[in-house]
Amino acid sequence: MASRTLGKLSRETLPAADGDGRRPPVPGDGGGHEPGSEGISPVATARTGLWIFLVAVTMLFIAFTASYLSRRTAPDWGAQIPLPPILWLNTILLLVGSGVLERARRRWRLGDVRTLRRGLLVAAGLGGVFLAGQLAAWRQLALAGVFMRSNPHSAFFYLLTAVHALHLLGGLGAFGYALSRVAGLPVAAGPAVTGGPVSVTAAVEGVGLYWHFLAALWLYVFILLFFL
């Protein structure tokens, strides 16, 4: 029974191969140099790696969520902290950044390097403003006398926002990397689908995916902390 399922698994869902045992070609892997000969797509590899990383980050937040939900059932949970209004603005900024980035990425697939560069810069800038906004929210709460140790809810608020902010900082670093890759592109470079440099595709796709994930993660944290 179990072994039959496994057999199916290997045939159907694992990235097996086409007729001669190679991985199927993945759009965007360039194909211009080396990789084709060994059947390895760096873009697909990077994408898999990133997804796996996102699974790990998700597990981290699942652990926090489970702790939070179980803690909330305790009788001494007490009052929730007030929602700092600036969080609404922060949320909008992060979502707009995500949207700008997505549009830039789509335009780039059609060959528009200029929009891509601008989009990366704008999204990164909005990310920076978001972080500043989160700091402002902490500051507002502190001025109102709400600290990390004030009550269980505030502890979770500071914990989750801090860990999310750390991941966002990493995302800003990734923006820096992607921008450095894109900077080398001639403005009139052809559409990526037909052959931009592999490292650019991997970087842009990777940053895009990660940034959307962080936006979604923030929405999740926001809802979890204040609306559940």
How far apart are CB 20 and other proteins at their closest, in Å?
Answer: 7
User: CA 135, CA 107: separation in Å to the nearest integer?
Assistant: 33
Residues 6 or more apart whose CB falls under 8 angstroms from that of 91 comprise 218, 219, 222
Residues 6 or more apart whose CB falls under 8 angstroms from that of 175 comprise 120, 123, 124, 127, 207, 211
**C-alpha triplet 12, 14, 17: angle, nearest 5°:** 85
Q: Is 71 in the site for other proteins (CB under 8 A)?
A: yes
Q: Is 76 in the site for other proteins (CB under 8 A)?
A: yes
The SS3 call for residue 148 is: coil
Q: Is 14 in the site for other proteins (CB under 8 A)?
A: yes
How far apart are CB 58 and other proteins at their closest, in Å?
Answer: 8
**C-alpha triplet 124, 121, 163: angle, nearest 5°:** 10
Q: Is 42 in the site for other proteins (CB under 8 A)?
A: yes
User: CA 14, CA 23: separation in Å to the nearest integer?
Assistant: 10
Identify the residue among 27, 32, 62, 183 touching other proteins (CB under 8 A): 62
How far apart are CB 114 and other proteins at their closest, in Å?
Answer: 25
Q: For other proteins, which is the closer residue by CB, 40 or 129?
A: 40
CA atoms within 13 A on the CB side of 161: 27
The site that binds other proteins (CB under 8 A) totals a number of residues, namely 58
Q: Is 38 in the site for other proteins (CB under 8 A)?
A: yes
Identify the residue among 199, 209, 216, 226 touching other proteins (CB under 8 A): 199
Which residues contribute to the site for other proteins (CB under 8 A)?
A: 2-3, 6-7, 9-11, 14-17, 19-23, 33-35, 38-42, 44-46, 48-49, 52-53, 55-57, 59-64, 66-67, 70-71, 74, 76, 148-152, 155, 158-159, 163, 198-199, 202
